[in-house]
Amino acid sequence: MATPATTGHGAHMFLRVAVALQTLMVFVQAVSAGLLLSAPYGEALHGIGARVVFAAAMLHVAAAVAVRRRGGGSPRAVLYAAGFLGLLPAQVVLGIAHVTALHVPLGVLLFGMSVLQFACVLAARRARAATAA
Ligand code: HEM
């Protein structure tokens, strides 16, 4: 059974929540992009979603740094979190400039990166649980 000892400290939980929110919100961006192309309120939803993705990505970096400081995370996790955050301004500029030919593929790439980051966080949790068992 999962206990605090096997699932890690609060920073690990913070990291899982931040990456889950980031991944969910990038998916929601794809949904609101469909609405943006087909409904009058879609643009507003996509704009709000863009801000939430940004907030989640910043939380992700903060959580990855917190886990690292407590000696539980790899420097690569911080680098990947920062890399994701670093790509977002490009995504926003491409969206505002209507460069759809690059904005949509970069959105798909961001979703793929986020899913991988989430998979890594879950795998690390399983590894900690196995070590503690
Ligand atoms: C990942 C985070 C994302 C951010 C931060 C973001 C941000 C933006 C912004 C700021 C705009 C401009 C909206 C406006 O002009 O009012 C935009 C437009 C758009 N976005 Fe996104 N977006 C994201 C993901 C996606 C994804 C995943 C897709 C599709 C799979 C997508 C498809 C579109 C489309 C089709 C437009 C309209 C482009 C046009 O009007 O020519 N976006 N986005």
Overall number of domains in the chain: 1
How far is the centre of ligand 1, averaged over its atoms, from the C-alpha of 4 (Å)? 39
- Rounded distance, CA 116 to CA 133, Å? 26
**DSSP secondary structure letter of residue 39:** -
pLDDT band per the 50, 70, 90 thresholds, residue 8: low
**Residue range 95-131, pLDDT digits in tens:** 999 999 999 999 999 999 999 999 999 998 898 888 8
pTM of the model: 0.90
Domain with 21 in it = 8-132
Tell whether the model's pLDDT for residue 80 goes beyond 80: yes
Q: Which ligand 1 atom is at minimum distance from the Cα of 37? A: 35
Q: Does a structural domain hold residue 1?
A: no
Give the pLDDT confidence of 34-72 residue by residue, as tens digits: 999 999 999 999 999 999 999 999 999 999 999 999 877
What's the CA gap between 123 and 117, in Å, rounded?
10
State if residue 33 touches ligand 1 by the CB under 6 angstroms criterion: yes
Answer whether residue 61 is part of any domain. yes
